[in-house]
Structure 1
């Protein structure tokens, strides 16, 4: 693993404040150039970040959107940006145990966490606060791109508040109204290899 995990934000980096407008067609940036530069091929608008990675890694719930996109799209290791590990059971994923539920069914789980190489997986179990509380090591034969996670904005005229942590599938009518922060893959043909916790 590099000095800091590739997809983890660093001190000095932050989300870029942008002026958004919401119409019946969806959410967009008032700057059309910025808007065009931050849309993915499926049409989702992505949150942009700014700043220099000048400090320590910030182990928070959010990953760095641009680096997460690169790693998840190309199936690169979340720690070092090299190729993720593969064997006869599939690609290596290390995920936090959801709500400490040991009986979680991992088949069909949707995640924004990219896969890992063996070396980074071992280190991540020690360094990542979420993994220290409980982790599973999976081998995955299929991991289809299914959508994005981000802030879903209500349609004009609605009294609803934005949903800051929405999963929006690519075939959803909500896709034009989301500002994405993470690419989502659905894991299939999953083998649970190991599970544990670094701290009690």
Structure 2
């Protein structure tokens, strides 16, 4: 890593999102096993490994601020916490809510379908209004192509995670990443690393109007 890149990286550390994984939060060693008739589990499973719907979750220690931020990776438990409690994914404080709904900052994909983002499942937690400025300026995925969205309803819909299949007499075999709804029997074969909410009754807002300084350079 060049000195210029190191300096740029260090400058971003104070703005590290709440849900970002840090380098000292390494994957916890775990052995995936098949539970006959019940999908997958850990060989040394505890009650903390599953959510209230019985879905198995990816294990990872929580050590925010230790090491360096891995901006392209998300910490599973903090993402889940932010989504369940409607916390801002940037600062971890309560997301902005008003009569029009909870505030999200999303990449602009209005060309995907006519009433986008209606009925869209998202893994991105909502945001608070002050963090719109930070996220829209500093997040490479959002810079110059984001919109603010308020959703009056955003129910928890499912999870995104690694899907496994039975290995027969061998350990279960991962077959790919999927988004899957709670209630789908196949969710028993998923190890989740993100919670999904589905957006309904959406209103799209202009970021510059919502936060005039958000695009200031």
Q: Same fold (TM over 0.5)?
A: yes
Structure number with larger C-alpha Rg: 2
TM-score range, shorter chain: 0.7 to 0.9
Correspondence for 1:38: 49
TM-aligned CA distance change 1:146 to 1:103, over 3 Å: closer
Aligned pairs, how many? 190
TM-aligned CA distance change 1:3 to 1:175, over 3 Å: same
TM-score (norm 1): 0.85
TM-score (norm 2): 0.79
Q: Is this contact kept in 2: 1:139–1:191, CA < 8 A?
A: yes
| Deviation sequence 1:117-140 (CA, Å, 0-9, x none) | 011121011121211252121011
> With CA pairs under 8 Å and 6+ residues apart, which has the higher RCO, 1 or 2?
1
Correspondence for 1:97: 108
| Deviation sequence 1:117-176 (CA, Å, 0-9, x none) | 01112101112121125212101100011101000101345xx96244211110101111
Distance 2:158 2:141 in 1: 23
Within the candidate set 165, 186, 200, 1:174 is matched to: 186
Structure 1 residue ranges without an equivalent (≥5): none
Correspondence for 2:129: 118
Within the candidate set 76, 85, 88, 1:77 is matched to: 88
Structure 2 residue ranges without an equivalent (≥5): 1-13, 209-213
Matched residue of 2:192: which SS? Answer: strand
Which runs of structure 2 are paired with 1:1-200 in the superposition (5 Å)?
A: 3-24=15-36, 25-33=38-46, 36-50=47-61, 52=63, 53-60=65-72, 62-98=73-109, 102-104=111-113, 105-132=116-143, 134-157=145-168, 162-194=174-206
